[in-house]
Amino acid sequence: MIVTPDIFQGEIAIGQINHPDVIAGVQWFIDKYEPKYLRLMLGGKLYDELVAELSKEIPEEKWVKLAHRLRTPCAGYIYYYIRRDSASETAGAGEVLTEAENAIRRSPAKKMAFAWNEMVDRNRRFVGEKYAGAFESYAPSKGREYDSLFAYINPIFTGL
């Protein structure tokens, strides 16, 4: 809806993003985590309205702007989960690290923390500017999961 695989460039780059298998894998994460992020940030009612409005042939400008404002932080949220998942592979024996050929494996913790903390900065600006408050149905989720969208993480303590 608002995040597409092509956004994963620069500091949130995903290797071989033009390969069909990589695109399919990234799209799976987008399909799973984009709605979760948007529901947390906007609340269920405004999320449903956003989805309905963006599905129109010509959505109103305010909905396009709202989606645009949330695209980059949502991509950071998704990137964090893509990297968390890629830290190991699931095999019959459990979680394993694959051997890198002609390369040395590195922890994704630093990049994960960077993407997450960038998302936190953008989330704080979004809420601080009261941008979504212009929408009557704005009622962000409450609780620990919502609060985590505003909490910085330290790469040393990610456990990776």
Q: For residue range 96-116, list pLDDT tens digits in order.
A: 556 666 666 677 888 999 999
- Name the residue with higher pLDDT: 37 or 85: 37
Task: Give pLDDT, residue 130.
Answer: 82
Which two three-digit tokens encode residue 130?
């009261």
Give the residue from 1, 39, 28, 68 showing the smallest Cα distance to 145. Answer: 39
pTM for this entry: 0.88
- Which DSSP letter does residue 96 get? E
Beta-strand (E) ranges in 5-139? 89-91, 94-96
Integer Cα distance of 106 and 95 in angstroms? 16
Q: SS3 string of 117-138?
A: HHHHHHHHHHHHCCCHHHCCCC
Written as one letter, the residue type at 120 is: V
Nearest CA to 160 among 124, 111, 100, 94?
A: 111
Adjacent-strand bridge partners of 83: none
pLDDT higher than 60, residue 41 = yes
For residue range 112-129, what is the model confidence (pLDDT) as tens digits? 999 999 999 999 999 988
Least confident interval from 25-39, 43-57, 85-99, 108-122? 85-99
